[in-house]
Amino acid sequence: MKPFELAFIFADLLVLAASLLSARAWRRWMSAASVAALLFAAAQFHAVHWQMYPAYAAAAALCAWTCFRFSPRRRLPLAANLVSIFLLLASLGLGFLFPVFSLPRPTGPFAIGTITRQWVRIAPPAEVAAGSSRDRRLTVQFWYPAAPGAKGKLAPYRTGDGFAFHARYLSLVATHARIGAPVSASQPLYPVVLFSPMWNSGRSQNTVQFEMLASNGFVVAAIEHPLDSNDPHFDYSSDEKLREKDRQLDRRAADARFVLGQLEHIADKLTLGPLAGRLDLSRIGFFGHSFGGATAEETCWLDSRCKAGVNMDGTQFGGVAAAGIAQPFMFMFSDSPLPSAAELDSANPSVRYTAEVDQRDYKRIAESLARRGGYRLTLHGSSHLNYTDRPLFSPWRRLTDSGPLDARLAEREINAYLLAFFEKYLNGKPEPLLQGSSSPYTAVSFRSFSPPVRAARVADPPASPAARASTRAPAQRSLPRIHRRQTLSYPVPS
């Protein structure tokens, strides 16, 4: 909590305690403290968040009693006193459970700038469900190396619009990026890394990684897709639901390729302010979390402009699931268990189907790594959402669905491998961290896979989603392990 917030809560608690414990009449210092508390609250008016509403209500009521009480010698009624104390303590508790947290300080040598642009992709008729709009409105936020000492407003972690009431306070969390800052002149061009978020999620969910990469000399383009579905549950428990995930992935991959096309215009100085002409489109990477990891794989399979990618505890759908990917690729996994025998033999067909898909896909990834090479990382003590910023939202893990691993330790170890991967494959730097089959980090199991022979790129994929669907057997369309509790989890839980 901020100093002014603590000051006004403490002032009110002091007055209430004095009123509760004293047998004597109301004192002048108590009135002065009540008014001072309200002034402290007013000083925070520009940054009001719902966790403080109970304390604001108590402060307003106490100040009203101070100014308009019926008798100067009459004390605050006992019930009102106790209710006010409860409201103040409730705000303290809510402020602890849902803090306006600080993002980890980026470790790279560059300052950070950010700009946001909105583009519209007109989807072809075959891609659009009946009754849906063809307009795919994409919000893309760029994070980039900025000139040292750049001035300007710090960007908020999120804007308050479009999110549930209880998540809007995240607009008060400050990033380390300055809006519209000039690009650093230390390099003429910078490599580009695209990001796609989890299913039904938004662009800010991995801001820790965006800032880390930007501070180390990468331009990150975080894509916010339209909602994947109105259904809040991520379900792949039948053939039809798997096919629906394929269709959703087709749309996302098309979004990502559209963004790549827009970036070509940026490189030609046609648009986008400070980044015009500063992007090296011969060095493009892609990473994503969960369904965004599937988007990264599918896009790299479809588009040779993508040189390397990372799937952070994500799913495999689409053509790449069966064909495999030839570009350098890293699979990051949480510490969730493999399907159990009970799940595989369950009488519930949905549970059994899901478990079979998970097991099949786990084997497919292992076979792909052995055949084509790549990297596999497991973060012990983590859950699916440890690969996002979500564990920073609250110290109580049940509210963030995070694993027992310390949130900031997890961020540091994820960042180390993500940076090493893109440094190697986009900047050509040797990275000892990616060699061998061991890790210097306590929470990480890591293995590097070298292909038996240099893998040639897989054949160009069919041109249309329908044609691609005909090239893969239905029994082989599957996805790797996914957190069973994944839902519409972009806002903090209520």
Q: Which DSSP letter does residue 141 get?
A: E
* Residue ranges of the chain whose pLDDT lies below 50: 70-72, 455-460, 462-494
Give the chain's length.
494
Where do the H-state alpha helices sit in 98-206? none
Note if the pTM is more than 0.75. Answer: yes
pLDDT for the residue 489: 29
Structural tokens at position 121:
């992709």
Tokens 């786990």 locate to 362
Tokens 């090479």 locate to 373
Q: 125: alpha, beta or left, given left = phi > 0 and alpha = psi -120 to 50?
A: alpha
Spell out a b/e string for 65-98, using b for 16 or more CB atoms within 10 Å of the CB, else e. Answer: bbeeeeeeeebbeeebbebbbebbebbbebbeeb
DSSP characters over 78-96? HHHHHHHHHHHHHHHHHHH
SS (H, E, C) 20-31: HHCCCCCCHHHH
Exposed/middle/buried for residue 482 (C-beta within 10 Å: 0-12, 13-18, 19+): buried
Residue range 219-244, pLDDT digits in tens? 999 999 998 888 878 888 888 888 88
The answer to whether the beta carbons of residues 345 and 230 sit under 8 Å apart is no
pLDDT for the residue 132: 72
pLDDT for the residue 115: 95
Strand arrangement, sheet containing 329-333:
154-156, 174-179, 111-122, 135-146, 219-224, 190-196, 279-289, 306-312, 329-333, 374-379, 444-449
Sign of the CA dihedral 255, 257, 258, 260?
Answer: positive
* Cα–Cα distance for residue pair 298/253, rounded to 1 Å: 6
The answer to whether the beta carbons of residues 13 and 85 sit under 8 Å apart is yes
pLDDT for the residue 84: 84
- 96 Cβ contact list (under 8 Å, min separation 6): 1, 395
* Cα–Cα distance for residue pair 191/426, rounded to 1 Å: 7
Helix (H, G, I), strand (E, B) or coil at 154: strand
- Of the candidates 258, 165, 155, the residue with the CA atom closest to the CA atom of residue 207: 155
Q: Which DSSP letter does residue 181 get?
A: P
Instruction: Give the number of other Cβ atoms within 10 Å of residue 436's Cβ.
Output: 10
* Cα–Cα distance for residue pair 146/279, rounded to 1 Å: 13
pLDDT for the residue 237: 82
* Cα–Cα distance for residue pair 135/128, rounded to 1 Å: 9
* Cα–Cα distance for residue pair 263/280, rounded to 1 Å: 10
